[in-house]
Structure formats: structure tokens, C-alpha cells
């Protein structure tokens, strides 16, 4: 009952937006070539679920995005630990990062195509390049903020460098790492779609692009809805993982 009460207002808001979409489409305020009715968009989506044809592009997009994001997170945490924990690495690496960071990941697509061709590797490397920044930046901050007191405790207990990393530095930086990974995931979905459109790799991005080119607006919007759903589901999953990993933190009220 409580859950229903909590979910009612946001659901009502979404329903209101759908209703506006419905009215605009039904009254033909916008040509159906550009804006199908919600019924058609959701109908097309339902049809693709029914015949199972949705799963292949969804699988391809999600796989690409997760792989790129995972590699970016791994590299971001490792690099972030190095920079955050050792002043020498910070002085050495940070200026270069400041140069690379503002480069739009989409500008790296031509470079990646030169190196990898129109391949899966190209897409994954672009996704990784773009989604490394949030996790790298927040890891640098997180590892840099490990309390001095805890470093002293580690020294007094004779912990090795590896033990310090595993038992103190990584858990201490974990809230920042996870926050960065969550932002990185949003970027990786964007770039998965962009690379698919650019390189015509199988996936939701290419489907949307092709639907637009052949004026199948219902299919186009079905793809968009599906992308939104993917974002919601993955973000929710991460939120659950985060709550579990950080259950030691005082509950935010």
C-alpha cells in the first residue's frame, strides 16, 4: 500500500506526458511521419518483443556498452589509485589527463576506426575512452582522500602495500568509485548508440538510425523507449549493488 502511494505521483506524471503525446499525435499537430501515436510506438515495441526480434540488437548494444564500461572502470580505478595515492604519478600524469579529458569521445571515433576498422573493438575502445573520465576523476579524489589516520594505522600494524590497498584504500574510496562508475555507465550507453550509428554495427542505435531513414517512426520511437528502459534497469541494478556494498554508511534521511 505504501509502495503504491509512493509510486503514484511519478507514475501519474509519466501518464500525463503520455497523454499529451497521445493528444498531439491524434490531433495531427505534428505529422505522424515524425511523431507516431504512443500506441503505435508501444505497439511496435510489443511486436518486436512478441517475435523476439528485439533481443538481438538489445543484446549487442548492452554487451558493447558493458564491456567498454567495465574496461573503463577497471583502468579508471587502477589509474585513479596510482594518481590519488602517489604524488609523483599525480605530477607526471595529471597534465596529460587535463588535455585529453575535454576531447569529445565522439571525436575519437575516426581515430578508433583508423586503428580498428568498423569493428567491435573500435566501438568498445571509444566507449571505454568516453566512460573512463567520471570513474577516473572520482577515483583520484577518493584515493586522495584516504584518511591520514588510517594510513598511520596501516603503518603501525605493518600492513604491506597490497594489504593497504585491499583493506583500507579501496574500501575507503569505494563510495567515490561507485558514484563515478554510475556516471560512466550513462556515458557508455550514449557512446554505444553513437558508434553503432557511425559504424553501422548491429544494435539499437543502428536500428533507430535505419528506422529514421526509412520513415518508420513507430520503430524509431520503440527503439528510444527500449534505450530508456535499459538505462533505468541498469541504473537500478547498480543502485542495489551500491546499497549493499556501502551498507556501512549511515542512512541518508
Partner 1 sequence: MTLASTKGDRHGADGAPVAVSLRKVGVTYSPIGRPVLEDISFDVREGEFLSIVGPSGCGKTTLLRMLAGLLRPTTGDALFNGAPIIGPSRERAIVFQDYTNALLPWRTVSGNVALALEKTVPVKAERDAKVAALVAKMGLAHAADRFPTQLSGGMQQRVQIARCLSQEPRIMLMDEPFGALDAMTRQTLQDELLALAAERRTTTVFITHDLEEAIYLGDRVTVLSANPGRIAEVIEVDLPRPRNQLTTREDPRFLAHRHHLFGLLQGH
- Pairwise CA distance, residues 175 & 146, whole Å: 12
- Residue 79 CB, shortest distance to partner 1, in Å, is 23
Residue 2 or residue 149: which is nearer to partner 1 going by CB?
Answer: 149
CB of 75 to partner 1, least distance (A): 24
Closest to partner 1 by CB, 114 vs 148, is 148
Q: How far apart are CA 223 and CA 41, in angstroms?
A: 9
- Contact at 8 Å (CB) between 228 and 41? no
- Encode burial over 199-229: b for 16+ CB neighbours within 10 A, e otherwise: bebebbbbbbbebeeeebbbbbbbbbebbee
Q: Is 241 in the site for partner 1 (CB under 8 A)?
A: no
Rounded Cα distance, 2 and 200, in Å: 46
- Provide the minimum distance between the beta carbon of 136 and partner 1 in the complex, in angstroms, as a whole number: 22
What are the Cα distances from residue 43, in Å, to 13, 158, 219, 230, 232? 21, 64, 9, 18, 20
Measured from the CB atom, the residue of 90 and 167 that comes closer to partner 1 is 167
What is the DSSP code (8-state) at residue 159?
-
Euclidean distance between CA atoms 133 and 104, whole angstroms: 11
Of 49, 9, 5, 40, the C-alpha closest to 22 is 40
Q: Which residue, 133 or 143, has its beta carbon nearer to partner 1? A: 143
Least distance from partner 1 to the Cβ atom of residue 139, Å:
17
- What residues from 141 to 180 belong to the interface with partner 1 (CB under 8 A)? 147, 149-150, 152-153, 155-159, 163, 167-168, 171-172, 174
Min CB(77)–partner 1 separation in Å: 16
* Count of residues of this chain found to bind partner 1 when the rule CB under 8 A is applied: 20
Asked if 36 and 218 touch (Cβ cutoff 8 Å), the reply is yes
Which position among 5, 27, 250, 252 is part of the footprint of partner 1 (CB under 8 A)? 250
Nearer to partner 1 (CB atom), residue 232 or residue 246: 246
- List residues binding partner 1 (CB under 8 A): 147, 149-150, 152-153, 155-159, 163, 167-168, 171-172, 174, 246, 248-250
Amino acid at each position: 500500500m505504501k509502495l503504491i502511494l509512493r509510486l503514484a505521483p511519478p507514475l501519474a506524471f509519466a501518464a500525463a506526458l503520455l497523454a499529451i503525446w497521445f493528444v498531439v499525435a491524434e490531433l495531427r499537430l505534428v505529422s505522424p511521419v515524425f511523431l507516431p501515436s504512443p500506441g503505435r510506438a508501444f505497439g511496435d515495441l510489443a511486436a518486436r518483443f512478441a517475435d523476439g526480434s528485439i533481443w538481438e540488437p538489445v543484446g549487442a548494444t548492452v554487451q558493447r556498452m558493458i564491456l567498454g564500461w567495465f574496461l573503463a572502470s577497471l583502468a579508471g580505478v587502477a589509474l585513479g589509485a596510482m594518481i590519488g595515492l602517489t604524488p609523483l604519478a599525480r605530477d607526471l600524469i595529471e597534465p596529460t589527463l587535463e588535455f585529453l579529458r575535454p576531447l569529445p569521445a565522439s571525436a575519437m571515433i575516426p581515430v578508433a576506426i583508423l586503428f580498428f576498422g568498423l569493428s567491435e573493438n573500435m566501438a568498445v575502445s571509444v566507449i571505454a575512452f568516453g566512460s573512463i573520465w567520471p570513474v577516473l576523476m572520482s577515483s583520484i579524489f577518493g584515493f586522495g582522500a584516504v584518511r591520514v589516520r588510517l594510513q598511520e594505522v596501516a603503518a603501525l600494524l605493518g600492513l604491506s602495500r597490497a594489504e593497504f590497498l585491499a583493506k583500507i584504500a579501496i574500501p575507503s574510496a569505494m563510495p567515490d568509485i561507485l558514484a563515478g562508475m554510475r556516471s560512466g555507465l550513462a556515458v557508455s550507453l550514449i557512446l554505444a548508440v553513437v558508434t553503432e550509428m557511425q559504424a553501422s554495427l548491429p544494435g539499437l542505435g543502428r536500428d533507430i538510425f535505419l528506422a529514421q531513414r526509412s520513415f518508420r517512426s513507430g520503430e524509431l520511437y520503440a527503439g528510444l523507449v527500449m534505450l530508456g528502459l535499459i538505462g533505468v534497469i541498469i541504473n537500478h541494478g547498480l543502485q542495489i549493488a551500491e546499497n549493499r556494498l556501502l551498507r556501512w554508511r549511515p542512512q541518508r534521511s
